[in-house]
Structure 1
Amino acid sequence: MELVYMGKTKDVYQLDDGNYLLKFKDDVTGEDGKFNPGANTVGLTIEGAGKAALRLTTFFFERLERENILTHFISSDIEHQTMKVIPAKSFGEGLEVICRYRAVGSFLRRYGKYAEEGQALDAFVEVTLKDDERGDPPISKDALEMLGILSSDEYETLKEMTIQISSLVKAELAKKGVELYDIKLEFGRNDAGDIILIDEISGGNLRAYKDGEYIEPIALTKLILD
């Protein structure tokens, strides 16, 4: 297999059969040595983080498959921290779609004049450009269409899928007494042109709290799966 991309938390390899292999690493995003799912840099390395992320991702992707929600997932090898996926084409150079149930993180930094910390939000969906240099700026539906990144219909599909997937994740966490504050998802197009969920669903791309206390990624995996 051929290494095609070295990411912050995963490396991507192309396989001989045309599919891809994601290798989950123990690196997590953060700042000043502290984990932050919204950060653009690797903040620290946590032993076991890659395996924990893959275990939870596998659980959720298999759950989505049962709901007939399209993803890039094929199979996982937990021991080797790898996930086999189908090819997917990004929108532009990549989009991140956030679904928010509480006012925290960058939402609070931007809108703190009007929002209180922890204020309940009704599955608020926002799209940001994957652009580390510019701090992953938010972008509107109209701008996405004008710049040729996403059509108006594709945006509505993206928003609908985001709410559907986030709702499912929220419900699964709630079974363990855990509240989902926000989640960051990524999407692409498969070879047929369908919009599909890509990347991962783990403690590394969501904020979850139990009894008002934030749950670290590895602890979240153990709480949900063990």
Structure 2
Amino acid sequence: MSEPENRCRLVLIVPDIADADEQAKIVGDALKGGDVASIILPQYGLGDGEFQKHAEKIVPLAQNAGAAALLAGDSRVVGRTKADGLHITGGAAEISEAVEKYADKLIVGGGNAADRHHALEIGEERPEYVFFGKLEGDIKPEAHPKNLALAEWWASMIEIPCIVMGGTDPASALAVAESGAEFVAMRLAVFGEPARAALVVAEINALLDEKAPRFEG
């Protein structure tokens, strides 16, 4: 099997599940399916205390599976749960502040880049990655064409890696890979039927192993 690092890799967006144990079980199952570069856990309107309870269960699960655990929410919870990084859903100003504050300690990335201009503004702040799409933007089977076009443009000229939000169909991962993006984010495609999550992760990895373009070492 090829080394996963030389092609587009999977990022899992943890679904909104009120019960922390149930959420953790579903994520743990998915991680058994194969290579996952990182997971992003959004706060989903939870209070900081509740969010921390969820993160305390999910962060070690991800890390034990070799995936980076990124939190999209209160930055103090990142420190308290020893998560690997902070995913910022706002624009360049918010990313700038987080990079300045945490860049030596945490992975900081994200952004809400809906066009080239905003993507470049975010890129100037030197985040670890730029995210094209919204964390809950998987509303159609395929990835949003605008995000694919942005990723193709970005990957062809900018060194900073990008993550592109995929669609609800696991096969949408391939279109993201073909854009040149380093990472594809999946939420409902993997977690829509929780019992099949590990199987879907395995299927996506097999698809990317077989058909995704390879990066130059």
TM-score, normalised relative to structure 1: 0.28
By percentage of residues, which structure has more helix?
Answer: 2
Relative CO higher for 1 or 2, CA cutoff 8 Å, sep ≥ 6? 2
By percentage of residues, which structure has more strand?
Answer: 1
Structure of higher CA gyration radius: 1
